[in-house]
Structure 1
């Protein structure tokens, strides 16, 4: 109980809110060529130092508690302490989805907020590696990572990028392990299915989809994206059509039988309610009693078909997922006995969350607009659900957790 008593004293006897605001001002004020601005910055920094010195004199391990007041609200600090009490260890790697997790078009103009970026640099400075884990292509991720975090940090050897939801892992500064192409480990039979679909997907586009969709620049996954604003009625229509088109291409890739398309439609409709709903609405759902040959079903079991409403239709390999990518990234980074923070919002992020939970290797957090399965998992573990665009709140709680660990 001693740590709880110390937190009550810290937040009861000191103006932690003012300390935190001063710290944010000092950290985030953009460089200005202005004597007045520099003078103001210096004044705030002097006041901040004075506040911290008073805390340091009043607490055992006072520097730790001064940093706690400067980085976390009372609630965030107690959340961190609750996590420490439960797990008894610090987070030794961050695994972070980007779109709709770190950044959110609804609140942040689709940019990662500056306070989130700064917190990531502070974790990095304390020796916590960062794994960016996303469905985006490597080039897209490298671009915004370098722009947001800086070239030096991204190439420090402590940052890894799991891209295209587990297709590959890019960890600058690790020699021959800098880029691992995980799809090269797949069986030839699975690789040939994707080669077949990829070779035909644009060439054989039906007239109704020509000019309406494009193939995302993936190295391995086959992802069709709309040439319309994501979420619009036009995007919904073409992605529904694209889903059916990909199912039919997959059927042709796994069997020469003319019933291949019917078998793939039936297989995935049975396993995914969203796919079933699209097929039913379009009158393309095969009869539920459709019999799928065993060899075809065995191949289809190695292929994921993902439908993202009005956003994308995608084929990916079951053995390539974010969890497999994260394991590979942690291996390259040399994270032994991982205890990670996983932040994400989608089904692919849930794979990592479940892997961490099953192996006692971490905790999960998610924005409140996440998919229902993700929210169910997060609320059922540590209830680290945050508001849209407010990833910083969870990062501050984890920063507090790490400060509180001996």
Structure 2
């Protein structure tokens, strides 16, 4: 109870809200060429240090408690201590989805907030590796990572990018392990099927679908994206069309020439596997004319190795079930040298849920999700540690975990 008593005293006796406001101002102050502004910044910095000194003098572990107070609200600090008492260890890796997690089209204008970026640099400075785990292409992720975090941090050897939902891992500064193309480990049958689907997905699409979608520039996965604003009614409609088209094409490819039932087999199989896919097919009256049990064994065996993902109004994607974010994260942590991970996993979608379940099953971390995450993700997070954050407020969870790590350092 000593630490709880110390936190009660910290937040009752000291104006931590003002301290935190000074800290945020000092950290996030933009570069300006103004003597008045710089004097204001210096005054705020001095006041912040005075307030931290008062806390340092009041506690045996004053430096730690001053740092906690400067980063975390009262609720965040007590949540951090609860987490430490539950798990008994600090977080030693961050595994972070990007879209609708670190940034949100509806909450941050699709930009990662400066507060979040700065918190990530603070974790980096404390030696915590960062794994960016996304369905985006490597070039897209590298671009905004370098822009937001800086070239030196991204190439420090402590940052890894799991891209295309686990088909590849990029970890600068690790020699031959810098780029690992995990899809090259798949057998020839699967790689040939993906090559055929990729070559036909646009050319075989109806004219309206070709006009309203584009292919994401992936190395392996086949992803159709809308030529409309993500989540808009037009985007929802065209991605529904894309999903049906991709299911039909997958069925044709796997069944082979002469098997006209291939598209039906694919729709039957994946509707049985995924309620969201079934819902799209039912809403369009595109359900299969057969049962999943009617799918031939050899065709079913291939379907069971191929993932069809549907993200309403955002993307329809075909990927490999043998390659997912879990496989990518495991590879990234191996390259980073994290042998005994206890990671914070933040995400919003089914692909992130796989990583969350993996860390839960292996006692290897905790999970957090935005309030607008998929229902299954929210169910999992609520059942575990209830780390739900507001849209665009990933920094709130990062502050909690920062406090967890600082409190854990007290032993």
Q: TM-score range by the shorter chain?
A: over 0.9
| Counterpart check, 1:282 vs 2:291 | no
2:357 counterpart of 1:354: yes
User: 1 CA distance for matches of 2:363 and 2:2?
Assistant: 26
- Contact 2:265/2:290 (<8 A) preserved: no
Per-residue deviation, 1:308: 1.4
User: For structure 1, which segment, 41-50 or 203-212, has the greater mean C-alpha deviation from structure 2 after superposition?
Assistant: 203-212
5 Å-filtered alignment, 1:1-400, equals 1-256=1-256, 257-289=259-291, 291-400=294-403
Deviations 1:144-180 (A, max 9, x none): 0001000110000000000111010000101110000
TM-score, scaled relative to structure 2 = 0.97
Measure, in 2, the Cα distance between the counterparts of 1:281 and 1:220.
Answer: 30
Q: Distance in 2 between matches of 1:87 and 1:231?
A: 38
In 2, distance between residues paired with 1:289 and 1:336? 45
Instruction: Quote how far apart the aligned CAs of 1:236 are.
Output: 2.2
**Cα distance in 2 between the residues matched to 1:211 and 1:11:** 58
The superposition leaves residues 306-365 of structure 1 with CA deviations (integer Å, 9 ceiling, x where unpaired) of 111122111000011111100000000001100000000000000100000000000000
Describe the superposition over 1:188-229 as per-residue Cα deviations: whole angstroms up to 9, x where unpaired. 221111111112112222223221111110110001111122
Q: How many residues align?
A: 406
SS at 2:78 equivalent: helix
TM superposition shift of 1:85 = 0.5
* Secondary structure of the corresponding residue to residue 304 of structure 1: strand
Are the equivalent residues in 1 in contact too, given 2:264–2:289 (CA < 8 A)? no
1:402 pairs with one of 396, 402, 405: 405
Structure 1 stretches of 5 or more lacking a match?
none
**In structure 2, distance between residues paired with 1:102 and 1:289:** 41
How far off its partner does 1:366 sit? 0.4
Distance 1:208 1:57 in 2: 70
Counterparts of 1:240 and 1:47 in 2: how far apart (Å)? 56
SS at match of 2:211: coil
Q: Is the 8 A contact 2:359 2:366 kept in 1?
A: yes
Task: Return the offset for 1:47.
Answer: 1.1
Deviation at 1:288, TM superposition (A): 5.0
Q: Distance in 1 between matches of 2:397 and 2:265?
A: 44
Q: Secondary structure at the match of 2:345?
A: strand
Classify 1:52/1:233 alpha carbon distance in 2 versus 1 (closer, same or farther; 3 Å): closer
Question: Where do 5+ consecutive residues of structure 2 fail to align?
Answer: none
- Partners of 1:387 and 1:52 in 2: how far apart? 29
